[in-house]
Structure 1
Amino acid sequence: MRPPGSRGGSRRAILKRADASLKRLRVDAVDLYFVHGWDNETDVSETLGALDDLRRAGKIHHIGWSNVTGWQLERICRTAEANGLPMPCALQPQVSLLERGIELEILPCALANNIGLTPWSPLGGGWLTGKYTANERPTSATRLGEDPNRGVEAYDNRNTERTHSVPEVAAELAEWHERPMSHIALAWLADRPGVASLLLGARNVEQLADNLDAASLALKDDDLNALTEASDTILPDYPYGFLRDWSEVAHRDRLGRS
């Protein structure tokens, strides 16, 4: 049993794990140190205070956060601002052509607070490379082949009509540009608002080199629009669908009056 205040985002845990990371990496400081998620048992001011102490000691230079909701990110920012503590400069959410849920609340909050995005799983756990099909469960040495129940990327969860319709559009553009489908998906994501860098989960040097080559591809507006439309997030009726429809009606009224 761990003593109270020794796990998650607690001060004791943050300081202990940061020192362990520096020792494993054999470096004096980490340029960007991420907190992996929200801790319901620790006040965020305690976490931020510990990170500030690490920054003042020269052990980390900047902080980032992963896997939070919009209200949690706003709480982090306002707590930092009110107490003179370091603001996160980066956010690490899951984003891809198959997962755009952050656009509802998290992305607007990040943009309002000048926080850059470093998305994880930019290829949808491998779905956006064309390696998975609707009728054949993966069994080879791939992420889902080794673990088909891999959390939010699980094969059965992602094996939907929408999942297969998005790669169809990406595949058409890949053929047109004479590029792998993965390049299309990465180029689209790199062009999205707020995206500063992509986290690539390459299994070997060859995959890494291929993914890095996507940086040389600049998609045209028509290509980007086609991918954005095909992967559009299905909004819950309330409040998001309601507010979108309300905004569209108001926009038409303004056009009519002008």
Structure 2
Amino acid sequence: MDEALRRVARAIEQAERILVITGAGLSADSGLPTYRGLGGLYNGHTAEGLPIEAALSGPMLRRDPALCWKYLAELGKACLGAAPNAGHLAIAELQRRKPGCWVLTQNIDGYHRAAGSPGERLIEIHGELAPLYCQSCGAEDSELAEHLQRPLPPRCRQCGGVLRPPVVLFEEMLPEAAVDSLYGELRKGFAVVLSVGTSASFPYIVEPVLRTRQAGGLSVEINPTLTDLSDVVDVRLAGRALDVLPELLGHISSDRICK
């Protein structure tokens, strides 16, 4: 893998614009469950016999907020109980070195921000878990941890309405601002795109990889397992992000970086 690492490092050194796409695999290295691992849901169904996609959906939040929040709370507790790992920190350091480096993440845990990734170059396409806001009056509530210790669903202190996180649940639309930001940057093009810890099951995750490769840029996958992108990318670095990314960063010479 050393030669492949060096190839990617050289491309990053020379690139002005880089996109890092991150998925659940990156945060799994921090101990977070994926949706299908939530609360031991290894068969993809809840204790109520529902697909996890149905339990964590916008319609379920409206119809049975306590049930939806049962699994939102599992996610919230997991996120609050873990922290960014070496992969998140390496990405933040890459962004520090390369002002044209953007992050597109499917993750909702906020670990990129916690690791130091600048908010103005971070696209959280599925939103984030905090702060909560009231679906009735719109009031904001930053006390996620406190609410998770109380009966669910959490209620607004001002009007008693059900609170929710600014996260994209199943069957909900992506946030317009995030989509606009993504496609605005895609129109400018990227010289290197890194797909990190994602199975690439969404078109808006696959498209940046395909666009970059078609335009002559370098497409890279970092993942311990094969995905739908594995046969499409120029370089595949097999391994966990928290191992591969710091090693990759070590191959990038600061004094040769093109800013």
Question: TM-score scaled to structure 1, two decimals?
Answer: 0.24
Task: Select the structure with the greater relative contact order (CA < 8 A; seq sep ≥ 6).
Answer: 2
Structure having the higher Rg: 1
For normalisation by structure 2, the TM-score amounts to: 0.24
- Greater fraction helix: 1
